Each structure stands twice: as C-alpha cells, then as structure tokens.
Amino acid sequence: MGLLDVVKPGVVVGDDVTKLLRYAQEHKFAIPAINVCSSSIINAVLEAASKTHSPVMIQISNGGGAFFAGKTIDNKNQKASVVGSLIAAHHVHHLAELYGVPVILHSDHCAKKLLPWLDGMLDADEEHFKIHGKPLFSSHMIDLSEETLDENIRLCKQYLTRMSRVGVTMELELGVTGGEEEGVDNTNVDNNRLYTQPGDVHRTWKELTQISSKFTIAASFGNVHGVYAPGNVILRPEILKNSQQYIRDQEKIPDSAPFPVFFVFHGGSGSEKDKITEAIHYGVVKMNVDTDTQWAYWEGIMNFYKQKEKYLQGQIGNPEGPTKPNKKFYDPRVWLRAGEETLARRVTEAFQDLNCLGKLVK
Ligand SMILES: [Zn+2]
C-alpha cells in the first residue's frame, strides 16, 4: 500500500494525521517540518515536496506568524501572531492540493506566556470545524518544558481535551532542548536536563492517552536549537528507544505492537546524519528544520547578488552599457526566486536525510 492510499494530497487533518505518522513510523522515515514566515517560503517548500513526491510538514512559529501579518502591526494579546498564522494556514490550504502533496499544517513552540496565540488558532479551528467538519490546522505545539512536569501535564491535558473535540493533534515538549529559540534561551542549561527521563515520558503518555491518542512528544536527547560549533552536548537517541521500551514494559505492550510514542526531533539543523537515522528507528516521525533552511534561503540570494553585482548597483547602467536597464535583475521575482531555489534544494536534502524522499511514488 502506497502512502497516497493512506492520505490524499492537501492539508491532512484528524485521524489521517495519525495514519500518516503511523505509516512513517512503520516505514522508518520521518517528515521534515519546515518553518515558514512568508508566502515565498511556503511555495518553495511545496515545490520541493511536489517535485520529489514527498509528504511534508509546514510549521508557523509565533514570530513567523507575526511576520506574516507584517512587522508594524501591534502584537498586543498575540493579535498579529494569530492573524498571520491564520493567513499562512489558508495560503497552504489553497495550494497543497494543487501541488499534489499531503501537508501536515502545524504551529510551532508555544510557551505559557504565548498561550493566547494558541487560543486564537484553536478558535479558528473550531470555527472551521463548524463549517467544514474539520479543523484548519493539523496540529499545534504546546511547549511547557520550562514549567514543572506537573504543570506541563496539567495544561497539556486541558488543551488536548479541547483539541481532540475538533480532531487536532497536539505536540508537547519534555525536558529542555538546548540553544535559543523564540525568546527562550537555554544555552547555559545544566546538561542533565538536556536528557529526558523514560519515567517522565511514561507518566505523560499515560495521562494523555486517557484523553486522546492524538499527540506527539518532543523529548530532549541532547538536541539543540540552532547550529553551534561542536560542543559538549552529545545526541543520545537511545533515550528514545529506552522510553519506548519502558512504556512497553510498564503497560505490558508486546514488542510486536507499534511503538507507543510518536517522537519529534527538535533542533534538527546541523545534526549528524547517523544520529538522525538512529532516532527514526526509535520512533521519531517529525524533525524540525529551521536554521538550515533559513541559511539556504539567504545563500541563494547572496550568490545571486555576487554573480550579478555589477547589474545591481542602480536602476540603469551595467557592464553592457551606461544606459542599460537593470530591472530584470532587481525585480523581487528574480532574486527572491534564487532564494526559493536553494531553499527547495535544502528541503529536498532534508527529505533525503529523513528517508522521506519520494514516499508518494506508488
Ligand atoms: Zn523544542
């Protein structure tokens, strides 16, 4: 059975999200989740997925949503982040089917202080559900890893209850991912906290499963947000394996049954490829890619500028003559396109790294 027998092109929601993630876990691949903050970037991600026949995840961060709406809009009560995220979501909805690829539409890290943003998106999911019988987003992330485990679980249960009514999947975070992202700086955090305990995964899994099975867990196993020079933090994917086994043992789930947990790999940029493969074999079904695609987008534009530098110093006048126009070089559709091409190439590389490439081919 091919993947297109399991899910159709377009935004994947409800039970289909679980089916897609289960298919990925069974076939030992993970889907890259690419952060987007503009229509140009969304299109480049869809282009890469379409050309390579691969399923993809598109995710919008709080800051990315605000940027989508425009930098000068007041973000009081998360208004700009909410509206921008909804615009991005609708953009994806209009295009995913045209590009012929299944897309998981997701919102990224949401710390406690940003919950009004999540509330705004959930309002839209409920509204969408009333009209179309399905939510706008496939899934949302709630990141309470800065809180105590009790508080993390308490709020996750509350939100999972709300999400499960409209078929939205929840992603949560356990332990601390190193580095810095969306205003949370964990660069100096104690190394022990960078590794999640199997007992914590089990407790969380058990409490949430009572509400719904539609959740994924980003457990830290030494991963870091962003790209840093090699340091003293070491990726230990076996933590994921141990957690799966611990739950199986505690709950008497046979080894022949699927893994109990869908794991998410945060801070995938710059990770060693063999550790990625190992993590996938322990149940990782999603890997976030942001820093590397940001660089790829910029790299295309930078190289374009370097190549055409003498054509980009004024509207008129270049090596071919002092009256020659340069419009076809500074038109945003030309230089932004250069960024789209290199971004699409980097997304294709992510498909390769995660064994996700070409999974839509029968
Ligand atoms: Zn994270």
Cα 177 to averaged position of ligand 1 atoms, centre (Å): 5
Looking at residues 239-262, what average pLDDT do you find? Answer: 96
Indicate whether this model's pTM tops 0.85.
yes
Using CA atoms, how far apart are residues 117 and 77, in angstroms rounded to an integer?
8
Cα 1 to averaged position of ligand 1 atoms, centre (Å): 33
Render pLDDT for 269-317 as a digit per residue (tens, 0 to 9).
Answer: 777 889 999 999 999 999 999 999 999 999 999 999 999 999 999 999 9
- Side-chain-facing half-sphere of 352: CA atoms under 13 Å: 8
Average model confidence (pLDDT) for the chain? 93
Task: Please indicate, yes or no, if residue 321 is contained in any of the structural domains.
Answer: no
Looking at residues 11-37, what average pLDDT do you find? Answer: 98
Cα 218 to averaged position of ligand 1 atoms, centre (Å): 7
Using CA atoms, how far apart are residues 124 and 282, in angstroms rounded to an integer?
34
* Region of residue 161 (left: phi > 0; alpha: psi -120 to 50; beta: else): alpha
Task: Please indicate, yes or no, if residue 318 is contained in any of the structural domains.
Answer: no
Structurally, the chain folds into a number of domains equal to 1
Length of the chain: 362
Task: Please indicate, yes or no, if residue 88 is contained in any of the structural domains.
Answer: yes
Cα 226 to averaged position of ligand 1 atoms, centre (Å): 11
Write down the pLDDT at residue 264: 97
Task: Please indicate, yes or no, if residue 112 is contained in any of the structural domains.
Answer: yes
Write down the pLDDT at residue 223: 81
Looking at residues 168-183, what average pLDDT do you find? Answer: 77
Nearest to 103 by CA among 61, 156, 60: 60
The answer to whether residue 183 scores a pLDDT higher than 80 is no
The answer to whether residue 186 scores a pLDDT higher than 90 is no
Confirm if 177 and 235 have CB atoms less than 8 A apart.
no
Cα 4 to averaged position of ligand 1 atoms, centre (Å): 30
Task: Please indicate, yes or no, if residue 342 is contained in any of the structural domains.
Answer: no
Cα 264 to averaged position of ligand 1 atoms, centre (Å): 9
Cα 173 to averaged position of ligand 1 atoms, centre (Å): 6
Which of 103-112, 136-145, 247-256, 265-274 shows the lowest mean pLDDT across its residues? Answer: 265-274
Which of 25-29, 188-192, 315-319 shows the lowest mean pLDDT across its residues? Answer: 188-192
Cα 170 to averaged position of ligand 1 atoms, centre (Å): 14
Predicted confidence band at 29 (pLDDT cuts at 50, 70, 90)?
Answer: very high
Render pLDDT for 307-359 as a digit per residue (tens, 0 to 9).
Answer: 999 999 999 999 999 999 999 999 999 999 999 999 999 999 999 999 999 99
Exactly one of 16, 74, 108, 143 is catalytic; which is it?
Answer: 108
Task: Please indicate, yes or no, if residue 345 is contained in any of the structural domains.
Answer: no
Task: Please indicate, yes or no, if residue 331 is contained in any of the structural domains.
Answer: no
Using CA atoms, how far apart are residues 67 and 89, in angstroms rounded to an integer?
14
The answer to whether residue 21 scores a pLDDT higher than 80 is yes
Task: Please indicate, yes or no, if residue 335 is contained in any of the structural domains.
Answer: no
Domain that holds residue 93: 3-293
CATH number assigned to the domain comprising residue 202: 3.20.20.70
Render pLDDT for 79-104 as a digit per residue (tens, 0 to 9).
Answer: 999 999 999 999 999 999 999 999 99
Write down the pLDDT at residue 184: 56
- Concerning whether 108 is annotated as a catalytic residue, the answer is yes
Write down the pLDDT at residue 194: 73
